[in-house]
Structure 1
Amino acid sequence: MNDKLILVINPGSTSTKIALFNGLDLLKEVDITHQADDLAGFASNLEQLDFRFAAVEKALTEWNCQPNELKAVIGRGGPLKPLSGGVYHVGASLMQDLQSGKLVDHASILGGLIACRVAESAGIPAYIADPVSVDEFEEIARISGWPELPRISLSHSLNIKAVVAEVAAESGRKPEEMNYIVAHLGGGFSIAAHQKGRQIDVNNANDAGPFSPERCGTLPLTGLLKLACSGKYTFGELKKKLIGKGGLVAYLGTSDCREVARRIDAGDEKARLILEAMAYQIAKEIGAMATVMKGRVDAIILTGGVAHNPKVVPWIKERVEFIAPVIVKPGQNELKALAAHACRALADASIVKEY
């Protein structure tokens, strides 16, 4: 009997992932790819709200599921103000910020908006959980070296916290008892120090840290300043080169680590050098996070799509295994992580936070 139906919505830059759970049991899932031509007419992600909502309505219709059959709706959290981790009720204040147009323009802002629209029609709660703006930094971690530019916590916190909970449970412990370094390796990389249940430090995947399939990571500052002031690029053009066309794309013309591995197997030495350099930088950032926790690290967790790669993972492991055991949890299951948050919220309303 489907008595705990939860709708999960995860909007990405070019797709909307939608899933229907009964508790933690996945019943239906669809990954809707939005073609560039379909999105070209929208000036911002916020303008896509009606378009994306229609996709969710269509999925529910195809699944013969009415909104009033649901117990809750939960969406991916966007780049909101700094928040502690956990599940949040989508109320008036949160909706105001999501609709303001003042947030970083990212598709994830639509998660809460769509969830609220579905929930309102059914009279059920709407939630978001562990948004990218989760901020549990210690104050010392905010200091950058220049007062006008403090370090900001923006990361793949939903997947990071999900794998922390999973690994802790596998050892019969709670996240609050463990110290982990988590390397989320996707299109962008977040390397986090997760101490006693809190994400006390992490690189901002758009600003610093290792280069990744699509992003530049930390760059030589003087050279970047000269390039920015050269007149060669507009702000938008340079930003696109750094975030979206950087990393592997810049060096090798592809963001697909599987393709790079195939080139290496075919004898491409440049491909080998660049991919190994990426693994080198990941390992170096993991080492930095070990110092944050003064060496008291229970395990290093590698997760995200790149953690599937048979070349990158061994290259990382050989450099960091001296710090702590390395646990590989490839891929990410953000839909199930969101469903788990909704289940806990329905079971215990006291854990639900207000924005």
Structure 2
Amino acid sequence: MERRLPMSQPYYILAINPGSTSTKIAVYENEKELFHSSLDHTSEELAKCHSQKDQFFMRKEIVLNELKKQNFALEKLSAVVGRGGQLSPLKAGGYYVNEAMKRRIIQGPIIAHASNLGALLAAAVADPLHIPAFIYDAVGSDEMLPVAKITGIAGLKRESFCHVLNTKAMARKAASEKGKTYQDMNFVIAHLGGGISVSAHKQGRIIDVITDDGGPFSPERSGSVPILYIVDMCYSGQYSKAELKKKLRGMGGLKALLGTFDCREIEKRIADGDEEAKLAYDAEAYQIAKGIGEMATTMDGKIDEIILTGGIANSKMLTGMIEEHVKFIAPVHVMPGENELESLSLGALRILRGEETAHTYEDPAPAKEDLYV
């Protein structure tokens, strides 16, 4: 059941961002953050959750307890917005969390990811209050050009998986600083985190992406590796499927090369004269710059700004090396941090104010069973 948007001001918005080992929440009054909390989930808590259903109930209880601890009256809320997960296909922007969306998340098919719980948790808080629940700029949002999806294997298409939420938010902020709108400008944005993605933003639309397994290696992911090397590893008999996946995601990148993915430790090793650490760090910056150059061609080089964002954009050494490679393309704007809770809340606020219209999710798949939310 969709809810009528509240008309009163100010708007109070709860943002919920579930991750693999934590659930982060924040409450905003319009653009102002009132408080935020990072609710960590111990390995023991997670071990007791044998299904998504178990995780949903565990996280819901923790979120509600934290709101009570903060002495925040739920009745003040105007809307709740959750991190959008791997639903596909979706447009960018906001969606109402409706029964069709919940059913797809619960019953599938859908790629397993903690962010899928964002919609369910938002609805669990919002529905009893008769206020809207949204997701915004979901991971599965797809605005790619048809030509960007073609691969050389018939029947296999590239999909638009990147850091949609944070990159679009940073693009909007960068445009605003220039007195323009997101739709007025062209950006290449590299999100630098545990995984690295590079995306081309043309006049308010992500037209192409380099996914976190298709380009630069990152602190803990291997990035793009020549495919025949991977085929040989798959059939070598040395690795199980799970072991090989771990080498690509979790134990790849800087972790594999240097034994750590902590950029502060690596930079200290470089300062102490560690040539192996310097070469690996140079290689990461070099590959990120190559990805930025690749995305610049999708807009014929007509780039207003290159944005470096994400957690490891806090490293002045790494961003400085990247900038040296790519500053000939366009000015480089470093905007560090994840900014996901703020991005979610601002998206919901634009909907509440009537500046954007939320989409309605439609799924033709029939119901299989009663929903637990």
Q: Do the structures match in fold with TM over 0.5?
A: yes
> What corresponds to 1:295 in structure 2?
301
| Partner Cα distance (1:234, 1:43) in 2 | 23
Query: Which amino acid in structure 2 is aligned with residue 287 of structure 1?
Result: G
AA at the equivalent of 2:55 = Q
SS in 1 for 2:316: coil
**Could you give the per-residue CA deviations for residues 68-113 of structure 1, whole angstroms, max 9, x where no partner exists?**
2211000000011022211110011111111124211111001100
Shift of 1:46: 4.8
C-alpha deviation, 1:66, in angstroms: 3.1
| Aligned residue in 2 for 1:151 | 158
Read off the aligned partner of 1:256 and give its amino acid letter: D
Residue 213 in 1 paired to residue 209 in 2?
A: no
Q: How does 1:1-355 map to 2 (within 5 A)?
A: 3-205=10-212, 207-348=213-354, 351-355=357-361
- For the Cα contact (< 8 Å) 1:10–1:75, is it kept in 2? yes
1:2, distance to aligned residue in structure 2 (A): 8.5
Aligned partner letter, 1:326: V
Given the two structures, how large is their TM-score scaled by the length of structure 2?
0.92
Q: Aligned to 1:95, what secondary structure does the other structure show?
A: helix
The letter for the 2-side match of 1:217 is G
Q: CA deviation at 1:231?
A: 2.1
Aligned length: 354
For residue 48 of structure 2, give the secondary structure of its aligned residue in structure 1. coil
Separation in structure 1 between the aligned mates of residue 32 and residue 351 of structure 2, nearest angstrom = 16
Amino acid at match of 2:217: F
How far 1:235 sits from its partner (Å)? Answer: 1.3
User: For the structure 1 residues 3 and 173, does the alpha-carbon distance in structure 2 shift closer, same or farther, using more than 3 Å as the test?
Assistant: closer
Cα distance in 1 between the residues matched to 2:139 and 2:147: 20
Q: Deviations over 1:131-181 (max 9, x none)?
A: 111111111100121123211100100001000100001101111111100
TM-score with structure 1 length normalisation? 0.97
Please state whether the residue corresponding to 1:74 is helix, strand or coil.
strand
d(CA) in 1 for partners of 2:340 and 2:134? 14
Partner SS, residue 184 of structure 1: strand
Q: Between the two proteins, what is the percent identity of the paired residues?
A: 46
| Native 8 Å contact 1:76 1:129 kept in 2 | yes
Please give the secondary structure, in 1, of the residue aligned with 2:233.
helix
The superposition leaves residues 291-331 of structure 1 with CA deviations (integer Å, 9 ceiling, x where unpaired) of 11111111100001111112111110111000001011011
- 1:194-253, Cα deviation, whole Å (9 max, x unpaired): 001000001121x31100011111002111101111222221221122111111111112
Distance in structure 1 (CA, Å) of the matches to 2:51 and 2:252: 22
Cα distance in 1 for partners of 2:360, 2:115 equals 19
The residue identity in structure 2 corresponding to 1:289 is M
Code of the residue aligned with 1:272 in structure 2: it is K
Compute the RMSD of aligned alpha carbons. Answer: 1.5
- Counterpart of 1:110 in structure 2: which amino acid? L
- Return the letter of the residue paired with 1:316: I
Deviates more, 1:313-322 or 1:144-153: 144-153
Where in structure 2 are there 5+ consecutive unaligned residues? 1-7, 362-373
